[in-house]
Chains A and B, each alone.
Chain A
Amino acid sequence: VSLTLTYFPVRGRAEVIRVMLKDQGAEFDEKVITMEMWKESTLKASCVSNPLFGQLPIFEDGDLTLYQTNAIRRHLARKLGLYGKDQREAALIDMMDEAIQDLLNKYIKLMFEKDDSGKEGYLKALPTDLKPFEKTLSGDKGSFLVGDKISLADYALVILLIHHQVLSPPCLHAFPSLQSYLKRLCARPNLHAYFHSDDFKNRPIIPGKRT
């Protein structure tokens, strides 16, 4: 069954999908849409009318076409066994993921601001957002956010932490559990290979801007 991701040539919202698939060794095709192609309205219009939300990424799994990054991620998580071992773990994974999305939305808002004026306030507030994850990971199990296997939520957190270290290299200094978590996950063979690849390194976080 073929998997195809359609997105801009950036990390953006789709990177977490790439990271999950790469780590799991799942092959997928990529269709790259440049901003010029996007503005030329046919593809955007077809997203709107068919059925949905006029946005990218689009993900195709055989004859199933999905929009909405998080719906795509959940679908892949169910397919690849990355959604916990039971219903309780699934609920906790959802909870962790929602909180990660909240932080991600703040980060994206900052990235798209016209200047750097919001950065200081953002970095001041960041420890409050990171603390719950530090606390979760400093429990006696602590290897993943939920349970003893990597999940949907871990992939989201890993890429978010990597991007925050780009934004502000010392941002994890006060969070030893997050540091060791990040180190551990980045040492996974497929992720290590992917994060060191030109494919990943040359793809900007967002279009154009400073990282």
Chain B
Amino acid sequence: MATTGVRGTVRKIDSIVQKSTTTRINSVSPSRMFLEYHRRLIYVCLALHSSNNFAMGPYTITYFGVRGRCGAMRIMMADQGQEWKEIVVDFADWMKGDLKATCVFGQLPKLEDGGFALYQSNAILRHLGRNHDAYGKDGKEAALIDMMCDGVEDLRLKYVKMIYQEYDTGKDVYIKDLPNHLDKFEAVMAKNKTGFLVGDKPSFADYSLFEVLLNHLVLCSSCLDTFPSLKSFVEKMSARPKIKTFLDSEAYKKLPINGNGKQ
């Protein structure tokens, strides 16, 4: 006999409805109470069924003590008004291998959404996109958002390679080449005119781009000077109240961007 989930809830409400039809309470007629409980029953069932969102919290992130590949998802959750728990993994402990062995691909980050565990940062971003209606309004927007996010990922991979493998020798060349990668995003942002990459509200691609641009501004504070739409995008996203609160927080500021201290 189900006591949880939709069936459980229906049973509990059913039992309340049954009680109410047999008892006169506070001089409200039983039939009136019967109708009232049924009305609420219908609303509860509709709410549960119409929510297409699986799990939806509580959220826990397990990761190292850096922004790294969790930067974008944290900003997204903050902007979406979500609270989350952080489990910070010490790198020396990680190298012992016990936690690593439990991770499907031997990697972090890990997101737990209720009892559901998910790995791979872009899979996590997409999952959050589905949970919080940040994956476009239709199939066409979803495809364009995917395209943008993949473009951001390409840039992120180049950035990470430079940071971890070629910082001293390759930083200047990287910065010089950067406009050739940013111009595409500038063009899309300028064309869309809404202040977001696709559609008229933030998608997971926007959070990912925003985060990667913040990191690039630390690398080179003038890198957006020739890209007015991207500059305005960063300013507007930074000014969104929940993002502003998060970026001003100790939790955000205390974490280095990257694991090797370079930025």
Contacts and interface: CB of A to CB of B under 8 A. Distances in A.
Nearest to A87: B54
A79 B54 CA distance: 21
A71 interface: yes
Contact of A51 (B104, B106, B188): B188
A86 B52 CA distance: 9
A91 B126 CA distance: 7
Interface string A70-105: 111011001100000011101110110111001000
Nearest to A49: B187
Contact of A94 (B55, B106, B123): B123
Contact of B52 (A75, A87, A99): A87
A68 interface: yes
Given A52-B184, A53-B184, A67-B147, A98 B123 contact: yes
B55 A88 contact: yes
Tell me the dominant secondary structure on chain A's binding face.
helix
Interface in B94-149: 104-106, 116, 118-123, 126-127, 130-131, 139-140, 142-144, 146-147, 149
A143 B120 CA distance: 22
Contacts of B143: 64, 66, 71-72, 74-75, 78
A71 B140 CA distance: 11
Contacts of A136: 104
A48 interface: yes
Interface string B202-214: 0000000000000
B122 A51 contact: no
Interface of A: 48-49, 51-54, 64, 66-68, 70-72, 74-75, 78-79, 86-88, 90-92, 94-95, 97-99, 102, 128, 132, 136
10 contacts: A68-B146, A70-B146, A71-B143, A71-B147, A71-B150, A78-B142, A91-B127, A94-B122, A95-B118, A102-B105
